[in-house]
Amino acid sequence: MDNNKANSTTASDKLSAYRQPLAQGIRASIPIAVGYIPIAITFGLVAKSSGIPDYIALLMSFIVFAGASQFVGVSLIALGTNPWEIVLTTFILNLRHFLMTASLSMRIDPSVSKAWRYLIAFGVTDETFSVSSLQKEKLLSPFFIVALNMLAFLAWNAGTWVGIFLASGLPASLQASMGIALYAMFIGLLVPALKESRPVLLVVMISIGINSALSWMPLSAGLSAGWRIILSTVLAALTAAFIFPEGAGGSKNE
Amino acid sequence: MNELLLIVVGMALVTYIPRLVPLLMLGNKQMPQFLSTFLQFIPYAVLGALIFPGVLSSTGDTSSAIAGAAAAAVLALIRLNIMLVVLGGILGAFFWGVVF
């Protein structure tokens, strides 16, 4: 890998060219990993208590690696839903990842190989995407993204194992409180940005407003959570892009 | 393959495809300004929609969920590390549930 790029960089440049983003990715991933463990434990507990075989829950964390999909999947399996409906619901729930990787793709150098892209794509979740896209650098190193994604992936899988094997041990009250972990993490990611940027505050308020309306109005009662999130996201981001064509502002946009 | 295995493999495929396609097809072609602004707003819009109103039913009890979310928001406002924000959220919801 030392001789397939421009000769203008020295070996030590090359070394730091991946060491630094790798370390940076791991550092940026620690809060995600810590946030994932209780959620993944909860997932393991929920799966086990829904009567899902252990290997199915473990396989889900290993090859699906998407919290919302997995929780929805387990609850639909437990309800005996038709397999195609489960897969379709998962697909709808995951359409938002299309928007995320489209956005992430703009932050990746065009020279980054397909193999990297296959690897990067697997680890894109709401959380890893949010942390990646909130980085100040315009272009993100694939080492950074993959390190970030993989640590989150490891934590997610470790947590699932722990959850399955803890299933009967935890007091019921603490199990319930852990459901907040995912949201606390979203709040922790979002609140600092709300403080810094008016356009961001507006887009979040619109999105929450639309999602609440869709959730509570009888007219849209048949809409799945996945579609509600897709609709709220697209409408809110469109509205904000019309009102603030110059973007979120602040250092990120320069 | 049994049915559960097929479901999980199907879920994995429909989760992976939307993650992969834009990374392979789009590259980083310069997007029209409007589209790029739109995409820039997406993570914030997604986070907003993911948080609310889903958070209200996250603990099985609306008031403890609000307590946990409020604890997390306060900790995030004073810019504590996100680990502490998550921990604060869990403990906030837990102690609210214990006390009330």
A5 in a structural domain: no
Facing B36 at nearest CB: one of A56, A106, A186: A106
Domain extent for A40: 15-179
pLDDT digits (tens, 9 = 90+) for A159-213: 999 988 887 666 666 666 767 777 887 798 889 889 889 999 999 999 999 999 9
DSSP A140: -
* B63 touches A at CB < 8 Å: no
Are A94 and A144 within one domain? yes
CB contact under 8 A, B89 and A120: no
| A160-170 as b/e: b if 16+ CB within 10 A | bbbbbeebeee
What's the complex ipTM?
A: 0.82
pLDDT digits (tens, 9 = 90+) for B21-52: 888 886 666 667 787 788 778 778 888 988 88
* B40 touches A at CB < 8 Å: yes
CB contact under 8 A, B58 and A180: yes
Are A145 and A39 within one domain? yes
CB contact under 8 A, A64 and B86: no
CB contact under 8 A, B85 and A100: no
Interface of A with B in 143-172 (CB under 8 A): none
Facing B76 at nearest CB: one of A130, A180, A187: A187
Q: B29 to chain A nearest CA, in Å? A: 7
Are A101 and A131 within one domain? yes
Are A159 and A234 within one domain? no
- The backbone region for A189, taken as left when phi is positive above 0, alpha when psi lies in -120 to 50, beta otherwise, is alpha
The single-letter code of the amino acid at A65 is: F
Q: Determine the pLDDT at residue A206.
A: 97
Range from A2-6, A191-195, A238-242 carrying the lowest mean pLDDT: A2-6
CB contact under 8 A, A245 and B51: no
CB contact under 8 A, A103 and B21: no
A143 in a structural domain: yes
Q: Which residues does B88 contact at the CB level (< 8 Å), separation at least 6? A: A184, B71, B72, B74, B75, B80
Nearest CA in chain B to A85: B7
pLDDT digits (tens, 9 = 90+) for B41-92: 877 888 898 888 888 988 888 999 999 999 999 999 998 876 678 788 888 9
A3 in a structural domain: no
Q: What is the DSSP string of A51-92?
A: T--HHHHHHHHHHT--HHHHHHHHHHHHTT--HHHHHHHHHH
How many folded domains does chain A comprise? Answer: 2
| CB < 8 Å to A190, chain B | 44, 47-48, 51, 76
Are A230 and A146 within one domain? no
A187 in a structural domain: no
